[in-house]
Amino acid sequence: MTTKTSQQIDPFATLREHNYVNLTTFRKSGVPVTTPVWMAMEGNKGYIVTAKNSGKAKRLRNNPAVQIAPSTHMGKALGPAIDAKIRILSQEEAVAAQRALSQKYGWMYQFFRLMWRLRKTETIFLKVTVTT
């Protein structure tokens, strides 16, 4: 008889308590690029916001396979990486992502939204799902 580990039940269990995760995307050449980002979880989905023209957004358009791991704000890994896939959300779908990020990060998220608007930075929302 096999028992389910907490990661099988909740693949984001190791990430929920952390404010930052390392998001590792891959260049066309296969070279990994790791960036610390905010990620808010809702059920079995994670949500990330980034600039529409960022390097990570470009890499994700070419390859949605990523790895995520808990980290510090400076990118120091605090746990093992999990294989995942990312999908860029439509404006309609982004409502859930905005809600989750706002609930988790509160005034800090609102402050960054204001900064993005003032700088005229277009943002996109990403949905993270764990691959099995």
* Amino acid type, 76: K
Domains and CATH numbers, the chain: 6-130 (2.30.110.10)
Residue for token pair 């050449």: 29
pLDDT the model gives residue 132: 66
Cα separation, 117 vs 84, in Å, equals 30
Give the three-state DSSP class for 22.
strand
**Residue 34: both structure tokens together:** 């790791």
- Regarding predicted confidence, which is higher, 115 or 62? 62
Q: Give the chain's mean pLDDT.
A: 88
pLDDT the model gives residue 1: 46
Give the three-state DSSP class for 76.
coil
Q: Facing residues of 66 across strands?
A: 84
Per-residue pLDDT band for 4 (boundaries 50, 70, 90) equals very low
Q: Is the pLDDT assigned to residue 3 strictly greater than 70?
A: no
pLDDT tens for 7-55 read: 456 777 778 788 999 999 999 999 999 999 999 988 788 999 999 999 9
Cα separation, 114 vs 14, in Å, equals 30
Q: Are 20 and 74 in contact (CB under 8 A)?
A: no
Cα separation, 114 vs 120, in Å, equals 10
Q: Are 61 and 95 in contact (CB under 8 A)?
A: no
